[in-house]
Amino acid sequence: ARNWAYHRGSCRPVVLMIFNMYVFNRDGVCLFYRDWHRVHRTVESPAADQKLMFGFLFSLKQIVNKLTPQNGMPGFHACQTNKFKLNYYETASGLRFVLNTDLQAGDMREPLRHIYAGLYVEYASKNSLYKLGDPLDNDLFVQSVDQYIRSLPSFGS
Amino acid sequence: YQRLGDVAFNKIEKVSGELFTLMYGAIVIQVLKDADGDAEQTSTQLEKMGYNIGMRMIDEFLAKSNVTSCRDFKETGEVIAKVAFRMFLGVTAECHHSAPTVSPPADGSPQASSDAAFRLVFVENPLSEFVELPEHCSNLAFSNLLCGVIRGALEMVGMRVSCRLVKDTLWGDEHTEISVVLKEVIAEHYQDDED
């Protein structure tokens, strides 16, 4: 019952969902990709998909910086279509965390920050066996991310 | 920034100061031995080790200190002195600026000036407590690891700097001083390798 939410106005039940997640470093290397509920996949390889995502984020950031109506760095953190919301967290060190959710999932900034501060820093930065820029495939990191995402109220079953 | 530094210091897990000092001393001795007693080579090696540490440490720093972007290089120096030093070494440094600050351009990105620099000055140094340099390596930059850490960390946030141990209490100076000079602001770029 807690996985269901009612869309404003209609009685149609909507399942809250987190679709997938990417982690990129500042050179555009996709360090981590995981999906939970992705149904539509691009025809090409995961590598092409990741490259597309990074290119999109990079361009979007440049454009947002130029178009922002106020002074100062805008720092975009989300954008959405009528089907999904792309949540974004970029660190000063150039790490980019992307979480695609459905429209009801809410503000993902805190979960993204936790994935960085609580999981990446602990299981990657502090892991002497992990070389910066390598794929994040160590068990601890992968499993704790999975566990954490599944524990979020926005995650449908 | 002092307050941010104290908050970060209180939150982070700590180890015994003496243990830290002893471990660092043991590392320096080992590197010195590997370099056959060559102090200069040891200094360089310590800086390189620091560089690798700094590249990782920056993420822990960003994650735990909650600092926001610095507007200019001067602020970077303040953050290192008041927050980073406090968080990782438990001491606070002073940040002295020797060059005029450059006002940032309208789009908010930091601009490199050919002489943007600051000096980190501190008296207490947990790395070198109880340490005396023997005569045959009196020119050893004992705390050069710190220079490397600063260089590695700043490079990960887009600044190429040169970092040098200028004064050291182990050399008879009244305080320890690290000079940090901004060489280049690394612009973000993305190479699209397909046409």
Given an 8 Å threshold on Cβ–Cβ distance, is A92 in contact with B64? no
Structure-block tokens of residue B152: 């590695």
- CA A18 to CA A102: how far, in whole Å? 6
Tokens 């970092």 locate to B163
Q: What pLDDT, on the 0 to 100 scale, is given for residue B99?
A: 53
Mean predicted confidence (pLDDT) in A113-135: 92
ipTM tops the 0.90 cut:
no
Q: What pLDDT, on the 0 to 100 scale, is given for residue B124?
A: 92
Q: What pLDDT, on the 0 to 100 scale, is given for residue A11?
A: 44
Mean predicted confidence (pLDDT) in A83-98: 93
Q: What pLDDT, on the 0 to 100 scale, is given for residue A15?
A: 57
Which residues of B fall within a CB distance of 8 Å from A28?
190
**Closest CA in chain B for residue A52:** B192
Sheet containing strand A85-90, strands side by side: A30-35, A18-24, A96-101, A85-90, A78-80
DSSP state for residue A87 in the 8-state scheme? E
Q: What pLDDT, on the 0 to 100 scale, is given for residue B192?
A: 58
- CA B146 to CA B46: how far, in whole Å? 9
pLDDT per residue as tens digits for the range A27-37: 999 999 998 88
* Nearest CA-CA distance, residue B60 and chain A, Å: 6
Q: What pLDDT, on the 0 to 100 scale, is given for residue A37?
A: 80
Q: What pLDDT, on the 0 to 100 scale, is given for residue B75?
A: 92
Q: What pLDDT, on the 0 to 100 scale, is given for residue A38?
A: 77
Query: B13, B52, B56, B68: best mutation site toward chain A, by most A Cβ within 10 Å?
Result: B56
Q: Is A104 exposed, middle or buried (0-12, 13-18, 19+ CB in 10 A)?
A: middle
**Cβ atoms of residues B78 and B95 within 8 Å:** yes
Q: What pLDDT, on the 0 to 100 scale, is given for residue B182?
A: 93
Tokens 């995650």 locate to A155
- CA A56 to CA A87: how far, in whole Å? 13
Q: Is A64 exposed, middle or buried (0-12, 13-18, 19+ CB in 10 A)?
A: middle
- Rg (alpha carbons) of chain A, rounded to whole number: 16
User: In which residue ranges of chain B is pLDDT below 70?
Assistant: 99-115, 189-195
pLDDT per residue as tens digits for the range A67-81: 888 777 777 889 999
Return all residues near B25 (Cβ < 8 A) that are at least 6 apart: B130, B131
Q: What pLDDT, on the 0 to 100 scale, is given for residue A16?
A: 65
Given an 8 Å threshold on Cβ–Cβ distance, is B108 in contact with A73? yes
Given an 8 Å threshold on Cβ–Cβ distance, is B108 in contact with A71? yes
Q: What pLDDT, on the 0 to 100 scale, is given for residue A69?
A: 84
Structure-block tokens of residue B171: 């050399």
- CA A52 to CA A55: how far, in whole Å? 5
**Cβ atoms of residues A23 and A125 within 8 Å:** no
**What's the length of chain A?**
157
Given an 8 Å threshold on Cβ–Cβ distance, is A26 in contact with B107? no
Query: Per-residue DSSP letters for A12-74?
Result: -EEE--EEEEEEE-TTS-EEEEEESS-----SS-HHHHHHHHHHHHHHHHHHHHHH-SSSS--
**Closest CA in chain A for residue B68:** A92
The answer to whether B186 contacts chain A (CB < 8 Å) is no
Q: What pLDDT, on the 0 to 100 scale, is given for residue B15?
A: 86
- CA A52 to CA A77: how far, in whole Å? 18
This prediction has a pTM of: 0.85
The amino acid at residue B38 is D
- Rg (alpha carbons) of chain B, rounded to whole number: 17
* Nearest CA-CA distance, residue A36 and chain B, Å: 26
Mean predicted confidence (pLDDT) in A9-33: 78
3-class DSSP state of B83? helix
**Cβ atoms of residues B76 and B62 within 8 Å:** no
Task: Write b or e for each residue in A40-50: b if 16 or more Cβ atoms lie within 10 A of its Cβ, otherwise e.
Answer: eeeeeeeeebb
Query: Per-residue DSSP letters for B121-163?
Result: EES--TTSTT----GGGTT--TTHHHHHHHHHHHHHTTEEEEE
Residues 74-113 of A with CB under 8 A from B: 91-95, 113
- CA A144 to CA B6: how far, in whole Å? 30
Structure-block tokens of residue B162: 């040169």
pLDDT per residue as tens digits for the range B1-57: 888 888 888 888 888 888 999 999 999 999 999 999 999 999 999 999 999 999 999
